[in-house]
Structure 1
Amino acid sequence: MITVEEAEKIILAQIKDYGTEAVPFEQALGHVLSEDLKADRDLPPYNRVTMDGIAIAYKAIEQGISTFTIKATQAAGDKPVDIEEARECVEIMTGAALPSTVDTIIRYEDLEIKEGVARLIVTNIKQGQNIHQKAKDKKKGDVVAAANQYVTPAIISLASSVGKVELFVKKLPKMMIISSGDELVDVADNPSTYQIRRSNNYTIKAILKQQGLEADMLHIPDDPEVTKQQIAHCLQKYDVILLSGGISMGKFDYIPQALEDMAVNKLFYKVQQRPGKPFWFGKHDNGTLVFAFPGNPVATFMCMHRYFLLWLKATLGLPAKQPVYAQLANDYTFLPLLKYFLQVKLNFTAQGILLATPIEGNGSGDFVNLADTDAFMELPLERNDFKAGEVFKVHLFKSV
């Protein structure tokens, strides 16, 4: 049995580049950018007016001029209109290109306009005010969004601004989710007294969907030959297989033997943790990875967040985030010599301290608590007693 840290190291040693693909920019949301986005021209591309009002030459202010004749009105997108005298101005709208003969914008709120004449009603005019200077944000060729980050609505906006109709993004691995066991029936079925509905596969699918991943699902009955055949098929077709259940020591847990028969190299089995102790991880000769989680719902949920998402983000080239820490709200005792992932509710105090309140459940099979908690607090295995006020790492699965 290995430690959590050893399991993490082994999993992260199996990151793989699945290549890139071009997708229409409006369909790229949630993908990971694989190229730097660069400005195709200066941003802004011209001296841009940022307030509705009039455009003047500041030298007029220096000369004591406070009344201006409106020569023309210029809207955004219009060809710039130049003035010829200091006493002239151009009535101009937000977004318009600044004419070359003016250098200052005075907003409507600071003016009185009557019969084609604009008169200043304020005195605190600054040269160059209310103008967004050309190339102030970025110059042509500058990077506006670096690679290796999720495509967000802000990046969609940038892509459209620089004319990138297609974005190169990281390809996502092909995923298969496998559940097993004759005691599991479909969600729409009415289970007998001794059966339960399948939920872990839908849990895994939902977690993947949050990461922009689609996955196929398969349920395998408790039959050794069928198990072997289905595993063999999936190993040839998918990059990653996510199994839930059927990997313990029971008489009807046929998956470990099927994986061994199919030449999947076991990289570890069992981790010093609760929940999720009987966690199996391996790799086929063709590179397909197998994450085989325990069948208990909380164990599957925790392992997905603690291990799989860590691997996925590393595989996609996303930079590692700084860990999040929280202060334990109450004393807590956990006796087995295992690293414990404690379900907690998170709240900020008035002093800005992230506080974690333990929510006691009824073991790894009690998935109801997951709806009422925000994170797992990772408690070290070297200890049994944990005191209120101590700070430990937390793994968030819900926004707080």
Structure 2
Amino acid sequence: MISVDEALQLVLQHKMNLGTEEVPLLQAVGRVLAQEVTADRDLPPFDRVTMDGIAIKAQSFASGTRSFHIEKIQAAGSPQTALATAENCIEVMTGAMLPANTDAVVPYEVCEIQNQVATVLAAKVTSGQNIHRQGSDSTAGSILVSGGVTVTPAIIGTLASVGMHQAKVYRMPRVAICSTGDELVDVEQTPLPHQIRRSNAYVLAAALQEAKVPVSLCHLPDAPETMQQELAAILPQHEVLLLSGAVSKGKFDFLPQGLEKLGLATVFHKIAQKPGKPMLFGKLPEGKVVFGFPGNPVSTYVCFQLYFWPWLKASLGLKTQPQKAQLAQPISFPPALGYHVPVTLTNENGVLQALPVKTSGSGDLTSLYKADALLSLPADQDEFKAGESFPLTLL
């Protein structure tokens, strides 16, 4: 049995080279960018008017001119015009090019316009006011977005601004999620007194779909030969197997043996932790990987969060920052196991406080939706004081 830290390091050592693909711009949201994005021209590409009003030469105002004859209007989207006389002005609209021979924009709110003459009511006009200067955001050729980041709507806007109708992103692995056990029936069925509905597979599938990972769902019966046959049929179409149940020492836990017959090289089987002690991780031919999670709902979800997500992020080149939170109340846990506690979080003066969620054990699925995170307590302590800080995994 290995430690929590050892298990995570072994998982990360087996990250997958997923390659890249190009997708239409709007399909890139939530994916991991696999390229640098550079400015194809200065941003903004011209001196841009930021308020509706009049464009003038600031020196004319400084010299005592307060009323300016309006020569013309400069609209947004129109070619640049030019001021012919320094004591005159041009009406300008937000987003328009700043007319040549002007260097200040006075908003309508501090102007009075009558008979094509704009009188400035402001006490002061400075050169450059209400102008978004060319290249002040970025210059042509500069890096706007680095690779290895999750594409957000704001990044989509940046890509659109430089004319990228497609984006290069890291390819997501094809994942099969398999529940096990004859006691499980599907969600639309009415369970008999000795049965329960499948839920673990749907929890994992929902999390992966939210991350744009393509998933398939399946269910494996408690019959070794049938289980092996169905796994053999699933493997060619998938690169990752997420298995829930049948990995412990029970009489019907046939998965480890079935996977070995399909070529599994076990990396580890059992972690000194609660929940999720029996977790299995291994490699299959062609570089495929298997995460075998214990069947209890909390165990499945905790192991998924602590080991699969870091593996996926590492495979996608995403960097993660370790986080910690302070325990809000003392906990006693004598077993020499890492203890992953579901917690709710509050922020007190910039410090995250983690309050344990009351739970009845690894089968208490409803406790998961109440939790914000997992607080991981080390195996070499049995008393954990309020105010101590421990590693945090946001859910």
TM-score range, shorter chain: over 0.9
Name the counterpart of 2:50.
50
Name the counterpart of 1:361.
359
Q: Deviations over 1:164-190 (max 9, x none)?
A: 011111001111001111000001111
Q: Distance in 1 between matches of 2:215 and 2:130?
A: 51
Q: Distance in 1 between matches of 2:67 and 2:150?
A: 52
| Deviant stretches of 4+, over 6 Å | none
| Cα deviation, residue 214, structure 1 | 2.2
Q: Distance in 2 between matches of 1:353 and 1:290?
A: 37
Q: Distance in 2 between matches of 1:247 and 1:214?
A: 24
Name the counterpart of 1:330.
329
Q: Distance in 2 between matches of 1:345 and 1:128?
A: 50
Q: Distance in 1 between matches of 2:284 and 2:371?
A: 36
Equivalent residues in 2 for 1:59-98, closer than 5 Å:
59-98=59-98
Verify: 1:383 aligned to 2:381, yes or no. Answer: yes
Letter in 2 for 1:390: E
User: Is the deviation greater in 137-146 or in 272-281?
Assistant: 137-146
| Cα deviation, residue 395, structure 1 | 0.9
Letter in 2 for 1:48: R
Q: Distance in 1 between matches of 2:374 and 2:172?
A: 27
SS in 1 for 2:318: coil
Letter in 2 for 1:365: G
Q: Deviations over 1:172-215 (max 9, x none)?
A: 11110011110000011111111110000001101112222120
SS in 2 for 1:286: helix
Q: Distance in 2 between matches of 1:81 and 1:346?
A: 57
Verify: 1:252 aligned to 2:247, yes or no. Answer: no
Q: Distance in 2 between matches of 1:14 and 1:40?
A: 38
Q: Deviations over 1:236-281 (max 9, x none)?
A: 2211000000111111111111011111100000000000000000
Name the counterpart of 2:342.
343
Equivalent pairs counted in the alignment come to 395
SS in 1 for 2:287: coil
Name the counterpart of 2:118.
118
| Cα deviation, residue 366, structure 1 | 1.1
SS in 1 for 2:283: strand
The answer (yes or no) to whether the contact 2:74–2:99 under 8 Å persists in 1 is no
Name the counterpart of 1:127.
127
Aligned-residue CA RMSD (Å): 1.0
SS in 2 for 1:70: strand
The answer (yes or no) to whether the contact 1:235–1:284 under 8 Å persists in 2 is no
Equivalent residues in 2 for 1:277-356, closer than 5 Å:
277-320=277-320, 322-349=321-348, 351-356=349-354
Letter in 2 for 1:54: I
Normalised by the length of structure 2, the TM-score is: 0.98
Q: Distance in 1 between matches of 2:211 and 2:2?
A: 28
SS in 1 for 2:225: helix
Letter in 2 for 1:237: Q
Q: Distance in 2 between matches of 1:289 and 1:219?
A: 18
Name the counterpart of 2:30.
30
Gaps of 5+ in 1: none
Q: Distance in 2 between matches of 1:102 and 1:73?
A: 13
| Cα deviation, residue 352, structure 1 | 2.8
Q: Distance in 2 between matches of 1:160 and 1:20?
A: 20
Name the counterpart of 1:99.
99
Equivalent residues in 2 for 1:212-291, closer than 5 Å:
212-291=212-291
Q: Distance in 2 between matches of 1:333 and 1:267?
A: 32
SS in 2 for 1:227: helix
